[in-house]
Amino acid sequence: MAALNEEQVMLRDMAREWADNESPVTAFRKLRDAGSATGFDPEAWSAIGAMGWAGIVIPEEFGGSAFGYLSLGLVVEQLGRNLAATPLGATAVAASAIVMGSSDKAKKDWLPRLASGEAIATLAIDDGPSHDMKFTASVDGGKLSGTKPFVAEGDGADAFVVAAADGLYLVAKGEGVTVSTRHMADSRSHAAVTFKHAPAERLGDTALTQAIVDRAAAVTAAEMLGMAESAFRQTLDYLKQRVQFGQVLSSFQALQHRMAKMLTELELMRSAVEGALEAIDAGRSDVDQAVSLAKAVANDTLRLVSREMVQLHGGVGMTDEFDAGLYLKRAAVLETMWGTASWHRDRFGRLNGY
């Protein structure tokens, strides 16, 4: 845990309590089994709005609290522990794009509604199945055209922050926007979004696109941190109660050492993730490096822990009734979003001139 101030400690504890009481994994299961159209529970989302979490990175003049990214990460991490299905991360980072962008109109129109949770926004960035920062969407006379095949939280979004070849734009749902649901392994909201001469408000150039993608990657890494911690704890609890050969599994040294290795990697993961969030808040010039470090380490660690969760649960880990599969499937999606470990290692190397 980074050195947190009092507000941050309160926020973290409150988010943890809320997630455990109001949004346990069973809530996500229920949503999945009901085949929710938007991919989230509107009641849970309005509670999140009421608690002010959607406004954590929005300035106070627009109804937010401006606590910053470390605070946002703490909340997202707690929700990630229980696989809470909410558009919080997507909405917050999309709001950041408006905050950092150049359009006063967009700020006035959208930020108060995003801060209160009344509206939902998301990022429509990548052009293909892999993150590569190459964009073809174009804007002509204030109208944007292009296709984004994998937009997380796209089903329920009221506004899209869209990466075009020359920078970042804000597009409201409606005229020229077609959203079609994609069914992904993680049972969360993903949509293909097509923009055809959709009215677009310019937010900034490609430097803003990069800054927003870095923020999205850092917040995703925070969600992954919560997932990894929780997957690890659940596995540990299971090893302590499952008996074979007349012994609890946790007494076998081969398993003890695998758990010790995972705990070690989790420590490095927390440092890297919090380091990136702190770098964003401090406005440091090496946010790009800090984020690539965080996402690469988060990817490697969550991959290790989520795969081990299945393996160490044995046969029951393969059943839908146990939660291991839910963590595994969400992990694989988040490992892919905003860049794989190898993509970020390559970027880290380039940034350092290696």
Partner 1 sequence: MATAADLDRPADSVEAFREEARAWLAANFDPALRGQDNAMSAVDGPSAETDAQRKWREAMGEKGWGVPTWPRDYGGGGLSRAEARVLQEEMAKIGAWNPIGGMGVMMFGPTLLEYGNEAQKSEHIPRIARGEVRWCQGYSEPGAGSDLASLQTFAEDKGDHYLVNGQKTWTSGGQWADKCFALVRTDKSQKHAGISFLLIDMTSEGVETRPIRLISGASPFCETFFTNVKVPKENLVGREGQGWEIGTRLLQHERNSLSGGSGSAARMNAGRTVPEIAKKYRGADAEGRIADADLRTRIIKHEMDQRAFALTLRRAALEAKGNAGPSAATSIMKNVGARITQDRAELNIEIMGMQGLGWEGEGFTPAELEQTRTWLWGKAVSIYGGSSEIQNNVIAKRILGMLDHQ
Site residues (vs partner 1, CB under 8 A): 1-3, 236, 239-240, 247-248, 250-251, 253, 255-257, 259-261, 263-264, 267-272, 274-275, 278, 293, 296-297, 342, 345-346, 348-350, 352-354
51 or 236, CB closer to partner 1? Answer: 236
Q: CB of residue 17 vs partner 1: minimum separation in angstroms?
A: 22
9 or 37, CB closer to partner 1? Answer: 9
50 or 351, CB closer to partner 1? Answer: 351
Q: CB of residue 335 vs partner 1: minimum separation in angstroms?
A: 16
Q: What 3 state SS string does the chain have?
A: CCCCCHHHHHHHHHHHHHHHHHCCHHHHHHHHHHCCCCCCCHHHHHHHHHCCHHHCCCCHHHCCCCCCHHHHHHHHHHHHHCCCCCCHHHHHHHHHHHHHCCCHHHHHHHHHHHHHCCCCEEEECCCCCCCCCCCCCEEECCEEEEEEEEEECCCCCCEEEEEECCEEEEEECCCCEEEEEECCCCCCCEEEEEEEEEEEEEEECHHHHHHHHHHHHHHHHHHHHHHHHHHHHHHHHHHHHCEECCEEHHHCHHHHHHHHHHHHHHHHHHHHHHHHHHHHHCCCCCHHHHHHHHHHHHHHHHHHHHHHHHHHHHHHHHCCCCCHHHHHHHHHHHHHCCCCHHHHHHHHHHHHCC
Q: CB of residue 278 vs partner 1: minimum separation in angstroms?
A: 8
Q: CB of residue 181 vs partner 1: minimum separation in angstroms?
A: 37
Q: CB of residue 81 vs partner 1: minimum separation in angstroms?
A: 18
Q: CB of residue 75 vs partner 1: minimum separation in angstroms?
A: 19
